[in-house]
A and B are shown apart, each in its own frame.
Chain A
Amino acid sequence: MRRCLVVLCVILVSGSFPLLAQQKTPRITFDSESRDLGKVWEGDDLKQIFKFTNKGDGQLEIFNVQPG
């Protein structure tokens, strides 16, 4: 009986591997997530560009960019 259960588990686990292999996940990776600009003059507009790369194998979707 116990052997049967082990065999069943092995079959289930091995059967799920192809499914896991098919799941493609995106991976958002920023060059940097914070910038310290030091001293700046009042009245300056501080423009910063944050670059990111999708290092995953699925399509990355940005849902929202929300200022805090």
Chain B
Amino acid sequence: MLSAKRIAPGQTGEIQVTVKTEGLSGPLSKSVAVYSNDPLAAQVVLMVSAVIQPEFELKERSVFFGSAPKGKELSKDLIIIIAAEKDLKLTGAESSDAEIAARLEPVPDSNGKRIKLIVTLRPEAKSGYHSGTVVIKTSSVRNPELKIMVLAVVSASQD
């Protein structure tokens, strides 16, 4: 955002640069090019750099059960790590698919900073393709929800 397009000699102007960091992690560098009628600096490149730290660290954002035989219960675990500097909690987990269950369990001796998400495909799951989302509620203002995609294909029983 530019304060004024024309600046008289001796006067000042401002350029506001906003970088959104939602969904990003690690080193970040953004540039903005400013074009003017200055013959010696017709283009000036402004840089903003930072290292984005996630409040919640997940190695995966999806759970894929693959092809599961009907009548069999399957479970997968995901570890969620809460940033040590943050006093944050995971307050619950819900699945959008009734045949996929999700629950949270603290990892022992982790001081509440490591939480295990256990995603279960229920044995009563009907044959066919199951696609759902597990929503984990958090106490964070920045990230009130974490979403995990869950996929499973339940094949018909062979008996």
Contacts and interface: CB of A to CB of B under 8 A. Distances in A.
Interface in A25-67: 25-28, 30, 33-67
Interface residues of A, number: 42
A37 B50 contact: yes
A61 B42 CA distance: 10
B45 A68 contact: yes
A49 to B, nearest CB: 5
Interface string B1-31: 0101111111111111111111111000011
Given A34-B46, A39-B53, A62 B36 contact: yes
A55 B7 CA distance: 10
Contacts of B37: 26, 58, 60-61, 63
B18 A47 contact: yes
A38 to B, nearest CB: 7
B116 to A, nearest CB: 22
Contacts of B23: 42
Interface in B26-59: 30-41, 44-55
A45 to B, nearest CB: 6
Nearest to B51: A39
Interface of A: 24-28, 30, 33-68
Interface of B: 2, 4-25, 30-41, 44-55, 140, 142-143
